[in-house]
Amino acid sequence: MHAQIKELYPLCRSITGNGVRQSLQILKRSIPLEIREVPTGTQVFDWTVPKEWNITDAYIKNAHGERIVDFKRLNLHVMSYSIPVKRKMSLAELRPHLFSLPEQPDWVPHKTSYYKENWGFSLSHRQLQSMEEGEYDVCIDSSLTDGSLTYGEYVLPGTSQDEVLISTHTCHPSLCNDNLSGIAVSTALAQALADRSRRYTYRFLFIPTQIGSMTWLALHEHVVPKIKHGLVLVGLGDSGSMTYKRSRQGQAEIDRAAIQVLKDSGHPYKVVDFFPFGYDERQYCSPGFDLPVGSLMRTPHGQFPEYHTSADNLEFVKPAALEDSFHKSLSLIEVLERNKTYVNQNPKCEPRLGPRGLYRTTGGHTGSGQIKEMPILWALNLSDGVHSLLDIAERSNLPFAEIAQAAESLEACGLLREK
Ligand code: ZN
């Protein structure tokens, strides 16, 4: 995952344009995703697919002809969606178009102006302060033209038509945690699921944030009723602990499954309620859709100083954090896959477990590999055709995996039957 982030890092992504196309082409080597193009001007609810933005070069040259700010060195130097500029100007004229972070004087901020025509450069505050009066040669070699919005989609069919939506955004340039970590974890998850038998159908979306989910929803209203669970994956590579943001519904199965996985991990975690800000959960959880879509992340956006700056770089995202995020995401999917409701076939008093090989025959410690007693008893007691395995895990305060393993063993010997 970190190697993939490293390959994607230099590309200049935005909400449209060739940087997104190139990024999706790189992902296509790992998963056979479909690359879709939606033309500029397409109406998507209250919004319109914008003009396509592309950029080949940009710089500010000083009086000696030296590139003191150079897009080719770091694409964050140019405000995303900057209109073309090519002329000489004084520092006073240039100054309103320069952005820096006085509180982090060595970092370059990430700036955008998608829906208002503007142009600008970002630079470190230290560099801004060192700029002298005089004439500067300013160039942004960009284009804003009728083109399309590009997104990637990969559907892995399951035995059921019911779908799990995994959505991640692809519109940030050289930023690693906010953007590339979600892309890398989603891609690894898609690869892992491709090799497994699946109850659910999985739909992976790689989209520009907000306008991308609006566009996808506008063009796929017929698919929406099939979505039973969904997850927005963002910010999964920093060293912070995990955070889960609930769906608007708040108590959906995805919400409960995510919290169960985080609890079972034994690691610290936080749960936050839904709020109508953040990433694409804003659109999936808009009242007209109200989909059960939560968001899994590590440190929430805006709560780490590196957020939307050049310090969100290849050193900021850690392979171990990516791996941990991947395993937790996969565990969450395993809970969804295994969360079934069973009916006890011997409900009048407890059945005899010993003859069925389900009970330890000698007292004392239950070693690994042996079936544990309490999950068996809980699964038998609460499998009344009403309680799901997730209900049983929550009520028993036992790990979901133990309850699921017990239920699957009980089903194998005929004591439980799936409802
Ligand atoms: Zn962002």
Residue 335, phi then psi, degrees to nearest 5? -65, -45
Residues 59 and 74 in one domain: yes
Place 230 in a pLDDT band, splitting at 50, 70 and 90. very high
Residue 360's pLDDT band (cuts 50, 70, 90): low
**Ligand 1 centroid distance, CA of 104 (Å):** 18
* pLDDT (tens digit per residue) in 372-402: 899 999 999 999 999 999 999 999 999 999 9
Which amino acid makes up residue 9?
Answer: Y
Paired tokens of 168: 């991640």
Residue 397: which CATH number?
A: 1.10.10.10
Please tell me the distance between residue 145's alpha carbon and the centre of ligand 1 in angstroms: 24
Together in a domain, 351 and 330: no
Please check whether residues 333 and 367 belong to one and the same domain: no
3-state secondary structure the chain: CHHHHHHHCCCCCCCCCHHHHHHHHHHHCCCCCEEEEEECCCEECCEECCCEEEEEEEEEECCCCCEEEECCCCHHHECECCCCEEEEEEHHHHHHHEECCCCCCCCCECCECCCCCCCCEECCHHHHHHCCCCEEEEEEEEEEECCEEEEEEEEECCCCCCEEEEEEECCCCCCHHHHHHHHHHHHHHHHHHHCCCCCCEEEEEEECCCHHHHHHHHHCCCCHHHEEEEEEECCCCCCCCEEEECCCCCCCHHHHHHHHHHHHHCCCEEEECCCCCCCCHHHHCCCCCCCCEEEEECCCCCCCCCCCECCCCCCCCCHHHHHHHHHHHHHHHHHHHHCCEEEECCCCCCCCCHHHCCCCCCCCCCCCCCCCHHHHHHHHHHCEEEEEHHHHHHHHCCCHHHHHHHHHHHHHCCCEEEC
Gap from CA of 305 to ligand 1 centroid (Å): 13
**The whole model's pTM is what?**
0.96
pLDDT for residue 262: 98
Distance 178 CA to ligand 1 centre (A): 5
For residues 209-223, give the mean pLDDT.
98
Counting residues of the chain whose pLDDT is more than 90, the rounded percentage is 95
**88 and 107 part of one domain:** yes
Identify whether residues 195 and 303 lie together within a single domain. yes
The residues placing their C-beta within 5 Å of ligand 1, an ion, are: 178
Range(s) of the domain holding residue 399: 341-418
**Ligand 1 centroid from CA 47, angstroms:** 20
**Residue 324 is which amino acid?**
D
- Is 292 a residue whose pLDDT tops 90? yes
For ligand 1, the distance from its centroid to the CA atom of residue 308, given in whole angstroms, is 6
Distance from residue 337's CA to the centre of ligand 1 (Å)? 31
* 162 plus 124 within the same structural domain: no
Q: How far is the CA of 363 from the centre of ligand 1 (A)?
A: 56
Tokens of 240: 């912070």
pLDDT digits over 154-182, tens only? 999 999 999 999 999 999 999 999 999 99
CA of 179 from ligand 1 middle (Å) equals: 7
pLDDT band of residue 257 (cuts 50, 70, 90) is very high
Q: In angstroms, what is the span from residue 146 Cα to ligand 1's centroid?
A: 25
- 414: confidence class by pLDDT, cuts 50, 70, 90: very high
Banded model confidence at residue 204, pLDDT cuts 50, 70, 90? very high
Centre of ligand 1 to C-alpha 272, Å, is: 19
Instruction: State whether 206 and 61 are in the same domain.
Output: no
**Domain termination site, one of 337, 369, 400:** 337
Q: What is the CATH number of the domain that holds 194?
A: 3.40.630.10
d(CA 40, CA 177): 29
Whether 30 and 70 map to the same domain: the answer is no
**Which pLDDT value is given to residue 164?**
98
Distance 279 CA to ligand 1 centre (A): 8
Compute the average pLDDT of residues 193-210: 97
Mean pLDDT of the chain: 96
Average pLDDT of the segment spanning 331-341? 98
How would residue 371 be classed by pLDDT, with cut points 50, 70 and 90?
Answer: low
Least confident of 85-99, 236-250, 267-281, 357-371: 357-371
Q: What pLDDT sits at residue 365? A: 52
Number of Cβ atoms within 10 Å of the Cβ of 106: 12
* Residue 57 CA, ligand 1 centroid: distance in Å: 23
pLDDT bracket for residue 363 (50, 70, 90): low
Mean pLDDT score, 328-347: 98
What pLDDT does 358 receive? 84
Same domain, 329 and 370: no
Ligand 1 center–CA 286 separation, angstroms: 20
Mean per-residue pLDDT for 87-111? 98
Task: Count the domains in the chain.
Answer: 3
Ligand 1 center to residue 277 CA distance, Å?
A: 12
| Distance of CA 278 from the midpoint of ligand 1 (Å) | 9
Same structural domain, 281 and 165: yes
Q: What type of residue sits at position 268?
A: P
Among 303, 337, 371, give the residue marking a domain's end: 337
pLDDT tens, residue by residue, 57-81: 999 999 999 999 999 999 999 999 9
Q: From ligand 1's centre to the CA of 394, what distance in Å?
A: 34
Centroid of ligand 1 to alpha carbon of 240 (angstroms): 17
Q: Compute, in angstroms, the gap from residue 103 CA to the centroid of ligand 1.
A: 19
CA of 191 to the centre of ligand 1 (A): 25
d(CA 330, CA 98): 43
**Beta-bridge mates of residue 39:** 148
- 21 CA distance to ligand 1 middle (Å): 19
CA of 59 to the centre of ligand 1 (A): 24
Q: Provide mean pLDDT across the span 131-136.
A: 96
Q: Evaluate if residue 14 carries a pLDDT over 60.
A: yes
Question: Domain ends where: 117, 145, 173?
Answer: 145
238 and 349 housed in the same domain = no
28 and 58 belong to one structural domain: no
Distance (angstroms) between ligand 1 centre and the Cα of 184 equals 16
Q: For residue 357, what pLDDT is reported?
A: 84
The Å distance, Cα 257 to ligand 1 centre, comes to 26
Residue 268 has pLDDT above 90, yes or no: yes
pLDDT at 370 over 60: no
